[in-house]
A and B are shown apart, each in its own frame.
Chain A
Amino acid sequence: MTGAASELLAAPSWKARLAAAWDGDVAYSFRHSPVAMASFAVFAVCVLAALFAPWVAPHNPFDLKTLNLSDSRLPPAWIDGGRAMFLLGTDDQGRDVLSAIVFGARISLLVGLASVAFALVLGVALGLLAGYAGGRTDALIMRVADVQLSFPAILIALLIDGVARVALPRDAHDQVALYVLVLAIGLSNWVQYARTVRGSTMVEKNKEYIQAARVIGVAPLPIMARHLLPNVLGPVLVLATINIATAILTEATLSFLGVGVPPTEPSLGTLIRIGNEFLFSGEWWITIFPGAALVILVLSINLLGDWLRDALNPRLR
């Protein structure tokens, strides 16, 4: 290959790509949507705070040495009896509520993102297989999907989690609880991806480029992975954005019910569950602040997802 040709074929530099993306339709719509920018900012703050939790949080809520029981149940700083070092108050063990929220958001985001990724991979793979293979494979996969879709996702996640709880001894379960949770939420959500991918695969597989690939003898697996996948992924990614919010809510609900993450690694749902016990004695901040954090996080993702769906929908332009 000559130098000039390889230069032409080479991918444009990342600077050129970035500039093109900035001028593109999606970025334009982003720059003209205050809601999208605001919710992105909120989401980014949440993610960064969660990512750098040990540096962001004013205290380490899991360092038993720094906990002092005389600091327990302090109200937020602006209420009488509150102290400036505990901005949002403390819980029954003297843990700083703000720090617990930052660390809790970390677990919530981790489980949410991981379970969506798992559901995405599983759903896309099965959807591609069903759409490309057709026939009995298709019928089998889609029947299972139909059946699963007739049950609410939360019930399936609860069931898988419950079975794992019974099957594993308690100590072992606490160690793998996070993985079980990711698995349970992921398995309860793959159907949507599979259905979407199957639909677009059935359209794409009859196009000429796929037929050409088949004629020159490309095996089915590379056709699915290299040729079909990039062309069916778009709508699924939008779905995934919105599903991150759902996954975080599912995790929070399971943790609130006491069947989610173990109390040693509290997520936002666990914090709300713990705080719920102090609601009647007037210590509302232990449960309301983690709750507010959860709602802000989920709302920002929902708004971003709504915007993305509209921005990528050519009919609405």
Chain B
Amino acid sequence: MLAFILRRIVQSALVMAVVTFIAFGLFNFTGDPVAFMTGQNATTEDRQRLRAELGLDQPFYVQFAHFAGNAAQGEFGLSLRQARPVSVLLKERLPATLELAVAAALLAVLVGIPLGVYTALRRTSWLSHVLLAGSLLGVSLPTFLIGILLILVFAVQLGWLPSFGRGTTVAFGWWTTGLLTASGWKSLILPTITLSLIQMTLIMRLVRSEMLEVLRTDYIKFARARGLTDRSIHFGHALKNTLVPVMTIIGLQLGAIIAFAIVTETVFQWPGMGLLFIQSVYFADIPVMAAYLCFIALVFVVINLIVDLLYYAVDPRLRIERVTTA
């Protein structure tokens, strides 16, 4: 067990090192920052002094070590476009993205799992057929189109819900939340549905196929032979084993939700990190791009690590196999 955890942690650290290196490499494309910062009249000595102050006269690996050290503390320098520290920008945008992602994940799980169980248990009902056909449509509908359609219907035509922004937010220290005001909740509805719809259909289809698989196994037949009630078989015995792979996928989907938040945030002008990132790509704002890259990689590495460990903890067969092969 310890060896397994250690191996995973080493692998995660390697991934982070590679990503940090790529982020560092991005800075080589920006051109000379000294020429950028000094005016046309600056003397060569001025430039040399600035170069030394910024540490740009150091060899490559020293600069990288410096960059990685700062990155580990969350410092990525100043945004080229807004001339403010990138760490402050990211911190401002973090609550918006997290609230959206968590709301979308919750909605996807709370709706997706019951629908999956229903379509597996009532395979032939008309509602199951409708749901399955709808899920195929859901997979074929790109996220941004769902957002546009929702805006068209609920914001433009009906005028019920706002089409952009977070509404009024309340600040707690550096954390801002839209969950305490009515306008905040209203603004959250459309982006949440947009972001969760694809994950919801994925979870539904996965739960359905896993459930069907489990219902065919011998221990379910045996449970039926013992005369247990359907309710006890379906929810006491089958569902529990269905949820093991589902849990892994949900963990990994959490990462996908944060990635697709870029699209949703663009459609709804949601002031989160995804919008910040896509704007930094337009304007070649390298420090912001680098910081977002490292942050997203960290999120993914941590999620993957937790999912692996959870899987290991939940499924006893994995542990036995380790012992016998080692």
- Residue B189 interfacial (CB < 8 Å): no
**Residues of chain B from 88 to 126 with CB closer than 8 A to chain A in the complex:** none
Cα-based distance from A259 to B282 in the complex (angstroms): 8
Identify B142's interface contact among A162, A167, A253, CB under 8 A.
A253
- Residue B300 interfacial (CB < 8 Å): yes
Identify A302's interface contact among B136, B152, B300, CB under 8 A.
B136
- Residue A165 interfacial (CB < 8 Å): yes
Residue of B nearest to A282 (CB): B156
A166 touching B260, Cβ below 8 Å: no
Residue of B nearest to A298 (CB): B140
Residue of B nearest to A301 (CB): B140
Residues of B within 8 A of A241 (CB): none
Identify A253's interface contact among B136, B144, B252, B293, CB under 8 A.
B144
B284 touching A166, Cβ below 8 Å: yes
**Residues of chain A from 260 to 297 with CB closer than 8 A to chain B in the complex:** 272, 276, 279-280, 282, 284, 287-288, 291, 294-295
Cα-based distance from A142 to B37 in the complex (angstroms): 44
Residues of A within 8 A of B15 (CB): 147, 150
A294 touching B300, Cβ below 8 Å: no
Could you mark each residue 235-277 of chain B with 1 if its beta carbon is under 8 Å from any beta carbon of chain A, else 0? 0000000000000000010011001101100110000000000
B143 touching A165, Cβ below 8 Å: no
Cα-based distance from A291 to B149 in the complex (angstroms): 9
Residues of B within 8 A of A247 (CB): none
- Residue A88 interfacial (CB < 8 Å): no
- Residue B148 interfacial (CB < 8 Å): yes
Of the 9-residue stretches A7-15, A25-33, A153-161, A192-200, which lies at the interface with chain B? A153-161
Q: Closest approach, in angstroms, between the C-beta of A154 and any C-beta of chain B?
A: 6
Residues of B within 8 A of A259 (CB): 278, 281-282
- Residue A258 interfacial (CB < 8 Å): yes
B293 touching A159, Cβ below 8 Å: yes
Assuming A162-B289, A299-B136, is B260 touching A152 (CB within 8 A)? yes
Residues of A within 8 A of B174 (CB): none
- Residue B170 interfacial (CB < 8 Å): no
- Residue B296 interfacial (CB < 8 Å): yes
Q: Closest approach, in angstroms, between the C-beta of A298 and any C-beta of chain B?
A: 5
Assuming A279-B148, A279-B156, A295-B145, is B140 touching A165 (CB within 8 A)? no
Residue of B nearest to A256 (CB): B144
Residue of B nearest to A150 (CB): B304
Assuming A259-B281, A279-B152, A279-B156, is B259 touching A245 (CB within 8 A)? no
Residues of A within 8 A of B142 (CB): 249, 252-253, 256, 294-295, 298
- Residue A213 interfacial (CB < 8 Å): no
A165 touching B281, Cβ below 8 Å: yes
Q: Closest approach, in angstroms, between the C-beta of B44 and any C-beta of chain A?
A: 27
B259 touching A166, Cβ below 8 Å: no
Assuming A150-B300, A166-B286, is B263 touching A256 (CB within 8 A)? yes
- Residue A238 interfacial (CB < 8 Å): no
B141 touching A295, Cβ below 8 Å: yes
A154 touching B30, Cβ below 8 Å: no
- Residue B29 interfacial (CB < 8 Å): yes
Number of interface residues of B (CB under 8 A): 42
**Residues of chain A from 226 to 249 with CB closer than 8 A to chain B in the complex:** 245, 249
B29 touching A167, Cβ below 8 Å: yes
Residue of B nearest to A162 (CB): B281
Q: Closest approach, in angstroms, between the C-beta of B80 and any C-beta of chain A?
A: 11
Residues of A within 8 A of B282 (CB): 258-259
Cα-based distance from A165 to B282 in the complex (angstroms): 8
- Residue B151 interfacial (CB < 8 Å): yes
Cα-based distance from A152 to B262 in the complex (angstroms): 12
- Residue A216 interfacial (CB < 8 Å): no
Q: Closest approach, in angstroms, between the C-beta of A103 and any C-beta of chain B?
A: 19
Residue of B nearest to A275 (CB): B148
Cα-based distance from A26 to B297 in the complex (angstroms): 43
Residue of A nearest to B151 (CB): A279
- Residue A55 interfacial (CB < 8 Å): no
**Residues of chain A from 131 to 182 with CB closer than 8 A to chain B in the complex:** 143, 147, 150-152, 154-155, 158-159, 161-163, 165-167
Could you mark each residue 83-106 of chain A with 1 if its beta carbon is under 8 Å from any beta carbon of chain B, else 0? 000000000000000000000000
Residues of A within 8 A of B30 (CB): 166
Cα-based distance from A294 to B26 in the complex (angstroms): 34
Cα-based distance from A279 to B293 in the complex (angstroms): 32
B278 touching A163, Cβ below 8 Å: no
Cα-based distance from A165 to B148 in the complex (angstroms): 26
Q: Closest approach, in angstroms, between the C-beta of A287 and any C-beta of chain B?
A: 6
- Residue B182 interfacial (CB < 8 Å): no
- Residue B137 interfacial (CB < 8 Å): yes
- Residue B139 interfacial (CB < 8 Å): yes
Residues of B within 8 A of A167 (CB): 29
4 shortest interchain CB distances as A-B pairs: A299-B140, A162-B281, A155-B259, A152-B259
Q: Beyond A162-B281, A253-B144, A276-B267, list 7 extra A-B contacts (CB 8 Å).
A: A150-B255, A159-B293, A257-B144, A272-B145, A284-B152, A291-B145, A295-B141
A sample of 23 cross-chain residue pairs with beta-carbon separation below 8 angstroms, ordered by A number, consists of: A150-B252, A152-B259, A152-B260, A155-B296, A158-B262, A162-B281, A165-B281, A165-B284, A166-B281, A249-B142, A256-B263, A257-B144, A259-B278, A259-B281, A276-B148, A279-B152, A280-B156, A280-B163, A287-B148, A294-B142, A295-B137, A295-B141, A299-B140
